[in-house]
Amino acid sequence: MTVQPSFEAGTTLAPMVVARGVEKSFGAVRVLRGIDLDVMPGQVVCLIGPSGSGKTTFLRCINLLEKIDRGLLAVDGRHIGYRVGRDGRLCEMTEREICRQRRDIGMVFQRFNLFQHMTALENVIEGPVGVLGENRREATARARELLKRVGLEHKADSFPAELSGGQQQRVAIARALAMRPKLILFDEPTSALDPELVGEVLDVMRTLAHSGMTMVIVTHEIAFARDIADLVVFMDEGQVVESGPPAEVLANPRQERTRKFLLSVRGEDGHAR
């Protein structure tokens, strides 16, 4: 395991996420092959690319669900999974320290991951009360506000089994927001939804983006990425092949691999889905 020891932060213009030479393997399979990326505060970054290109693994590394093998990864000026010891060298965090660091990073998964025995409201307040130690009455009031924000105030007392997939994913977004994160990661949040439910989740994400939330989104919704992203990153075979504004990467890609991928996801009318 090699982690670069230096990282410069401390200015208002410092990136929220910094990745330098990030590598990750599972056994003999190299999944990430030197990822370099900056995500600025308030920026919406969409990661696109074929299945197996390393997008989800990279997201999981940012949220400490996977440890990187080599390189540097930092959020808000702090090394992910590592702290500076008394001798000035980096050392691995304890599990308790990792959990504390993870509080600042929200994550919305493909499969919702709601507690089935809890109502929508209970799912949203579980983290603030159980992890952050917030007052239950205050957490409940804020949870109701967040459910209203995602259009589900009328479903506060419903259990996940009583909600559609789109509604469950919107509860999951409210749950992530309840932890007051500095950054939210979305791992293909619409991939498990029926087509008619995709729009309601994307609308909530658009509202979040307009509010200034820093977001990194793995998505196959190319039209959505064109509409919402400040930066589009095309990944393939564990590498960043191309990145830039949507108007450049999606409309006029420089790399042949990017062009081939975009052609593969276009419908018969020629427009990206």
pLDDT tens-digit map of 226-253: 999 999 999 999 999 999 999 999 999 9
Q: Per residue in 210-231, pLDDT tens? A: 999 999 999 999 999 999 999 9
Q: pLDDT-derived band of residue 16, with 50, 70 and 90 as boundaries?
A: very high
Confidence check: pLDDT of 5 > 50: no
Q: Per residue in 22-44, pLDDT tens? A: 999 999 999 999 999 999 999 99
pLDDT of residue 12: 53
| Mean of the per-residue pLDDT values of the chain | 90
Q: Architecture of domain 2-104+181-264 in CATH?
A: 3-Layer(aba) Sandwich (3.40)
pLDDT of residue 269: 37
**Measured between alpha carbons, how far is 119 from 125 in angstroms, rounded to an integer?**
10
pLDDT of residue 10: 43
Say if CB 4 and CB 72 are below 8 A apart: yes
**Measured between alpha carbons, how far is 266 from 243 in angstroms, rounded to an integer?**
19
Distances (CA, A) of 148 to 156, 162, 163, 234, 242: 9, 18, 15, 34, 38
Q: Which two tokens stand for residue 207?
A: 């509202």
pTM: 0.90
Strands (E), 49-201: 70-75, 78-79, 82-84, 90-92, 105-108, 183-187
| Domain boundaries, given as residue ranges, for the chain | 2-104+181-264, 114-180
**Measured between alpha carbons, how far is 34 from 27 in angstroms, rounded to an integer?**
17
